[in-house]
Amino acid sequence: MIKRLVLMMAVLILLTLAIGCSQNSEEMTEPNEEIQEITLCESWGFEAGFPTIFTPGKHPNYQAAYYLANFYETLVNYHEGKIVPGLAESWAISADGLVYTFTLKQGIKFSDGADLNAAVVKKNLEMLPNLLGDYKGSTELISILFKEARIIDEYVIAVHLTSPYYGVLQDFAKPMPLGMMSPHAFNEDGTLSDQLLTYSMGTGPYMSAGQRVENTYTFVRNPNYGGEKPDLDKFHVKVIPDNEAKALALRNGEVDLIFGASKISYDGFQEFSKDGRYKAKTSAENVMTRFLGFNAAKEPFNDKQVRLAVSHAIDKESISVNLFYGLETKADNLLSRSLPYCDLELEPYEYDVEKAKQLLESAGWLDSDGDGIREKDGQELAGEILYKSDRAVNHDLALTIASSLKELGMEIKIIGFDLLAWYTEIQKGNYTIAYARTYGIPFDPYLTISNMSSEPLIDNSLAQGFAHVQDGNNIIKGVTGLVDEQEIQEQYDFILNEVHENSSFVPISYIKELVIFDGDKIDDYQFHGQPSQFDAAGIKLR
């Protein structure tokens, strides 16, 4: 009888715990309170789960990173070009830049009920290098520079690095891979728990509780979230791969919001913005830059005069207005002046076709046979633009630029590749002009600058732009280890002035993030501090 009573009590306790967990995974509303929810759409699903660490192996879906800020928080946040507190309320940096000491906020819990403390942060940091494996440093340098984490007390942790790096705090603000996960997210052997395939284990405002019906995923409020209560109790993400189908779903009420410039055509954006029922917004920040990168190792773009001519031959203002509907502004600098260390006033290369022609003629490029193509020493002024074929606007831009250069007497072909093939050809140097984009917030300016080094060769479209500088690789690498702000700024001034004066790149336009939503249901959407991250807490309902 005693054994039966004990067994019954155990069952009752388990049932109570199960009911509690079930209630926590649902919206936290009173019985008679209306549930506030919206549906948005995405091009892909979340089959790779909800870890903060994605690799091409077990967890290959990098695109899910654009949702991580809903589920996970970082030690610090990046907002309007500045680092602000996150899970850490304060931090201190040693004079040599090798030790970052974080004081954590107290009383923070993960969605699974675990407490945030220095031990959990230590575990996250220690697991990071092994989990990333061969992909250490692909999105940040902390995984390479990390030496050890020492617990000072329950809520203070000191992170020791092998060498200083001026972008450390910027790295700590990246939800992938530095969003803090619950200790239960790790197996005893240091691998990630399979529970992350269906559940998120963070401290953010929302969580995945494994709810999915066919091609629609549901995310609910995290009952342990310690910040300001968001308007939404839950949000759904419906998988709709085709962008035209996404627009149709918004019009017929199947979804309430479309987020992301990659999912919204500019003409569609304009069409929705003119419809009184919908609201269409752009981010205040310039997220990234479209640019042309020259292969300075190949003729004819090893000639600075030819590069300068191209810089003057492209009507960026016209492209901004006619191709991008004014949603992108013309770019005069490779990196937006709003980014850290990039507020330089560089004299722009204004649109001037006659000046471009004069530059070519002074360099000996002449159309001697009247066929419309210039030659020099028996070589035609010709080349190709390699672009990524994932979006129609990329093709249109490449075609527009090729047409502009034809007016100068250049024969430029355009060749589209999928992302992997494009990257492979660029890395091999099989191009004369690469149409590319900078990495965007929060990776810029750090990643764009560091990849101007060719040792190791990470991005040839950037490395070629600094190849003309004597001892250029050491200059780029030297910036990484600086700790003095004035020295860092001086090096940025030199690097950015150098690539501008050399016309190493032709910045075309600054890209902003986009969102469209049903104005009858949603009053506003506030972009995240990292605008390409969808932020459900940024939604304000009517």
Task: Provide the pLDDT confidence category of residue 60 given band limits of 50, 70 and 90.
Answer: confident
Residue 176 sits in the same domain as residue 306: no
Question: Is 45 within a domain?
Answer: no
The last residue of a domain, from among 171, 197, 223: 197
Question: Is 4 within a domain?
Answer: no
**The tokens of 446 are what?**
């750090």
The dihedral region occupied by 49, where left means phi > 0, alpha psi between -120 and 50, and beta the remainder, is left
Residue 191 sits in the same domain as residue 215: no
Residue 158 sits in the same domain as residue 265: no
Burial class (CB in 10 A: 0-12, 13-18, 19+), 263: buried
Task: Provide the pLDDT confidence category of residue 23 given band limits of 50, 70 and 90.
Answer: very low
Tell me the C-alpha distance between 258 and 271, whole Å.
14
At residue 5, does pLDDT exceed 70?
Answer: no
Question: Is 86 within a domain?
Answer: yes
Residue 384 sits in the same domain as residue 408: yes
Q: What is the pLDDT of residue 462?
A: 97
The last residue of a domain, from among 197, 217, 233: 197
Residue 71: CATH number of its domain? 3.40.190.10
Residue 117 sits in the same domain as residue 250: no
Report cis status (omega within 30 of 0) of the bond before 300. Answer: yes
Task: Provide the pLDDT confidence category of residue 139 given band limits of 50, 70 and 90.
Answer: confident
What's the mean pLDDT when you consider all of the chain? 92
Question: Is 129 within a domain?
Answer: yes
At residue 12, does pLDDT exceed 80?
Answer: no
Question: Is 119 within a domain?
Answer: yes
Residue 235 sits in the same domain as residue 330: no
Smallest CA-to-CA distance from 441 within 280, 321, 273, 261 is with: 261
Tell me the C-alpha distance between 383 and 87, whole Å.
51
Q: 323-336: b or e for each residue (b if 16 or more CB lie within 10 Å)?
A: bbeebbbbbbbbbb
pLDDT digits (tens, 9 = 90+) for 465-501: 999 999 999 999 999 999 999 999 999 999 999 999 9
Domain that holds residue 79: 51-197
Question: Is 460 within a domain?
Answer: yes
pTM exceeding 0.75? yes
Residue 297 sits in the same domain as residue 425: yes
Residue 280 sits in the same domain as residue 329: no
The dihedral region occupied by 148, where left means phi > 0, alpha psi between -120 and 50, and beta the remainder, is beta
The last residue of a domain, from among 154, 176, 197: 197
Helix (H) or strand (E) run with residue 259 in it:
strand 257-259
pLDDT digits (tens, 9 = 90+) for 273-308: 999 999 999 999 999 999 999 999 999 999 999 999
Q: What is the pLDDT of residue 52?
A: 96
Residue 350: CATH number of its domain? 3.10.105.10
Q: What is the pLDDT of residue 366?
A: 97
Angle at CA of residue 118, ends 531 and 191, nearest 5°? 75
Question: Is 32 within a domain?
Answer: no
The total of structural domains in the chain comes to 3
Residue 334 sits in the same domain as residue 394: yes
Smallest CA-to-CA distance from 419 within 393, 385, 387, 394 is with: 387
Question: Is 242 within a domain?
Answer: yes
pLDDT digits (tens, 9 = 90+) for 354-370: 999 999 999 999 999 99
At residue 28, does pLDDT exceed 50?
Answer: no
Residue 387 sits in the same domain as residue 523: no
Strands 288-294 and 505-511: antiparallel
At residue 14, does pLDDT exceed 90?
Answer: no
Q: What is the pLDDT of residue 18?
A: 34
Residue 382 sits in the same domain as residue 495: yes
Task: Provide the pLDDT confidence category of residue 212 given band limits of 50, 70 and 90.
Answer: very high
pLDDT digits (tens, 9 = 90+) for 422-459: 999 999 999 999 999 999 999 999 999 999 999 999 99
Task: Provide the pLDDT confidence category of residue 19 given band limits of 50, 70 and 90.
Answer: very low
Task: Provide the pLDDT confidence category of residue 30 given band limits of 50, 70 and 90.
Answer: low
Residue 322 sits in the same domain as residue 468: yes
